[in-house]
Amino acid sequence: MSDKKVSLDDIVSLCKRRGFIYQGSEVYGGLAGTWDYGPLGLTLKRNIMNLWWKTFVDDREDMYGVDAAILMNQKVWQASGHVDTFTDPLVECSECKSRFREDQIDTAKCPTCGTADSFAEARQFNMMFKTNVGPVDDESSVSYLRPETAQGIFTNFKNVVDSFYPDLPFGIAQQGKAFRNEISPRDFVFRSREFEQMEIEYFIDPKDWEKIFETWVNDIEAFLEQLGLPKTSVHKLEVPNEDRAHYSKRTIDFEFDFPIGRKELLGLAYRTDFDLMNIQNNSGKSMDYRPKDGSPALVPHVIEPSFGVERTLMAVLTSAYTQDEVNGEERSYLKLPVHLAPVRVAVSPLLKNKPELVAKAREVYAMLKKEYGNVMWDDNGNIGKRYRRQDEIGTPYCVVVDFDSLEDDSVTVRHRDTTKQERVKLAELVARVKE
Ligand code: ATP
């Protein structure tokens, strides 16, 4: 086993070569900060999102899902503070006009042209994408592509309470696109202008916040383990007072050792009643929650776990990327958990010019496909090449139909991590490739 550390280039080139992620609008020279998912990347991303949904919504009794519109009334973003304060400090080089986020560079010298002291004072740049809704282009039609999914949850708080009347504590979850006009998108999908979030607002009685916060820390850690992220690569950063938003009483950034260094993967924040009170004050609608036991009405507080899908996917790929040596040859493969692998099983006939083998392999393929869906037919190149290709995309099992299969109704199952092969009866095959 080689202990060479995975580089960002390893991941980017694998993603492009094997159909995970492509540069957005690539045929026209690209559009910075946008990415397109190919067949395998899309499936991997969905597997991650579905696991999150299953873990945090379907498997629990206290969670409700919503899917709010991306375009929202501009009052949402005025009330939430985004119009005034969702900004990053922008600096421009007086020499070459390159623009940077002030806190991402050493402003003593321009990274593009090398000129010294060419930056004036930073100005605040709002990261929301502005647009107009409807045919009239004036201030009243202004809207924004949402920079987070959370506000679509808060604005539906009252709707969910009125429809379901849940007991406190309960949560509302949402997955979906978010847009930020990042000054310098970089590091592959890590900092994109269009990305996806998975967020929960967990509504609580403030007297319970400390205990519930701890429960969330544990739940998040358990989820990260299901993704195959090594515990040693995940770090909890207790955000100090001076760096926290003024309304937050506690925030933990979960950081991960990405190939680009230790960076934020997701955040967990106790946001008090800041958001619901803003909505109440600006909409004039009460956000009161009336407990069923007759105790006094309250505006609940929230604890917010906020995951980014792209960063999660990058952490999964970083953790899974493995290099070893097989029969004296170097190989790189994705050691993905079976439940995340975009292709669970690849099926091939030993030789593709033998109709009887192809016919039998097609039967096996149909049987597995019906059971698992993400099964790939792969008869390109020789068997060795197929294994290499499937290893690279993280396929845990390769099933090969050979001449013996026609006699004994058995197939060869080859395991990705060990490269070991075993004979498995067709009657037992579906169960054998389960985990
Ligand atoms: P950063 O400090 O890295 O810009 P942030 O603190 O602004 O991130 P949040 O506003 O807390 O991020 O957003 C919650 C999550 O959404 C982040 O933890 C991250 O996973 C994801 N996220 C935020 N911005 C981006 C982006 N530009 N590209 C990809 N994911 C992002």
Task: Clarify whether residues 363 and 239 are in a common domain.
Answer: no
The answer to whether 375 and 427 are in contact (CB under 8 A) is: no
Task: Clarify whether residues 246 and 185 are in a common domain.
Answer: yes
The answer to whether 20 and 37 are in contact (CB under 8 A) is: yes
- Residue 101 in domain: no
Q: Identify the CATH number of the domain in which residue 43 sits.
A: 3.30.930.10
- Residue 425, classified by CB atoms within 10 Å of its CB into exposed (0-12), middle (13-18) or buried (19+), is exposed
Pocket test for ligand 1, best of 37, 87, 191 (most atoms within 8 A of CB): 191
Task: Clarify whether residues 238 and 176 are in a common domain.
Answer: yes
Phi/psi at 308 (5° precision): -100, 130
Amino acid 258 reads F
Ligand 1 pocket check for 308: Cβ under 6 Å? yes
Task: Clarify whether residues 374 and 234 are in a common domain.
Answer: no
- Tens of pLDDT, residue by residue over 292-347, are 889 999 999 999 999 999 999 999 999 999 999 988 889 999 999 999 999 999 99
pLDDT at 2 over 80: no
Ligand 1 pocket check for 271: Cβ under 6 Å? no
Last residue of a domain, one of 318, 352, 383: 318
Q: Where are the alpha helices (DSSP H) in 81-165?
A: 82-85, 150-154, 157-164
pLDDT (average), residues 383-387: 93
Task: Clarify whether residues 61 and 180 are in a common domain.
Answer: yes
Q: Identify the CATH number of the domain in which residue 373 sits.
A: 3.40.50.800
Ligand 1 atom 23, closest CA: 308
Task: Clarify whether residues 312 and 347 are in a common domain.
Answer: no
Ligand 1 atom 8, closest CA: 264
The pLDDT score that the predictor gives to residue 327 is 86
pTM attached to this predicted model: 0.95
Number of domains in the chain: 2
The answer to whether 362 and 415 are in contact (CB under 8 A) is: no
Picking from 89, 85, 82, the residue whose alpha carbon sits closest to that of residue 105 is 89
Task: Clarify whether residues 286 and 368 are in a common domain.
Answer: no
Residue-range definition of the domain harbouring residue 360: 343-434
Task: Clarify whether residues 154 and 236 are in a common domain.
Answer: yes
Task: Clarify whether residues 277 and 379 are in a common domain.
Answer: no
- Tens of pLDDT, residue by residue over 60-81, are 999 999 999 999 999 999 999 9
Task: Clarify whether residues 64 and 164 are in a common domain.
Answer: yes
Ligand 1 atom 18, closest CA: 266
Task: Clarify whether residues 351 and 314 are in a common domain.
Answer: no
The pLDDT score that the predictor gives to residue 326 is 87
- Tens of pLDDT, residue by residue over 195-236, are 999 999 999 999 999 999 999 999 999 999 999 999 999 999
Ligand 1 pocket check for 264: Cβ under 6 Å? yes
The mean of the pLDDT values for the chain is: 95
Q: Where are the alpha helices (DSSP H) in 71-185?
A: 74-79, 82-85, 150-154, 157-164
Task: Clarify whether residues 42 and 180 are in a common domain.
Answer: yes
